[in-house]
Amino acid sequence: MRKFLVAGNWKMNTNRQSGVALAAEMAAVAKTGEPGVEVLVCPPYPYLLPVADALKGSAVSLGAQDVYFEAPGAFTGAVAVEMLKDCGCQYVILGHSERRHVMGETDEVINRKVRAALRGGLKVILCVGELLKEREGGLTEKVLDTQMQGGLADVSEQDAGQIVIAYEPVWAIGTGVTATPEQAESAHEHLRKWLTSRYNATFSGQMQILYGGSVKADNAESLLGQSNVDGALVGGASLKAASFVPIIEAARKLWK
C-alpha cells in the first residue's frame, strides 16, 4: 500500500516568528517511525533555516516552493538546488498553478527545474491541473496529458521514482470550492493510467498522487479515502495547526 504524504504549502505567508511556531507545533504532532503517513512543510525561502531548526529531530520533512534550474552563479533573485539542500530541504514543489498562471512558467521551464532538482538529490512534487474553462470544455484529461508529458520529458523511470504528482484543479485552489471525491478520483485514475503508458504498471502503482485544492478537515477523509489519492497538498489550511492536524489525522485513520 502506498503511504500517505500530507504536505503544507505555506505560499507567501507567515513571518519568522509565526513560521517557527507553526513548525514547532507540527514537529510535536508528527510521529517518528510512523510508517504510513509522512508530513511535509514548505515555508517561504527566507524562513527555511529557522523552520529547519524548529523541525530538527522530528518526523516532519522540509521542502521549498520552487527552485531555479541553473547551478549557482549570476542569476539575481534565483535560488539553486544546492542552496535548498544546504538549508536541509528534502522536497521542492514545482509547476504549481500559481507559478504557471501568475508567473507564466511553461512546461519547458518546469521540466528544466524538475530535472535539475532530481540531479541535485531533491524529491519533486510536480503539480498539474486544469483551469475552470478547460474542465467545462471537457479538456481536463488533455491538459493533464500535456502537463505530464512536458513536466516529465527526458525523465527516466529511475529518476521518476523521486517524484510525487499533485493534481490541483486550478478552479479549486484557494476558492473554497473543492473537487468532489469522484472528480478527484477520476483525475487521479487518469494520471495513473498515463504513468502506466509512459513507464509501466508496476511503477505507476507505486507513485504517490496527491490531491490539492481547498482541502480541509471536513473533506479530507472523503478525498483521501479514494483509491488513487495518496495524500494532500494543502494551502490555506496548512497555515494553522488547528486546521492542518485534522487532515493528518484523517490520513492516519485511513492508513489504519
Cα–Cα distances (Å) from 234 to 5, 140, 145, 217, in that order, read 11, 21, 23, 11
Active-site residue (options: 105, 130, 134, 168): 168
**Number of domains the chain is built from:** 1
- Over residues 159-169, the pLDDT tens digits come to 999 999 999 99
The CATH number for 9's domain is 3.20.20.70
pTM of the complete model: 0.97
Domain that holds residue 220: 4-255
Active site residue 249: no
Active-site residue (options: 96, 105, 185, 188): 96
For the cut 80, the answer to whether the pLDDT of residue 7 exceeds it is yes
Q: What is the mean pLDDT of residues 195-219?
A: 96
pLDDT at 172: 83
Active site residue 70: no
**Mean pLDDT (the chain, rounded):** 96
- Over residues 19-57, the pLDDT tens digits come to 999 999 999 998 777 789 999 999 999 999 999 999 999
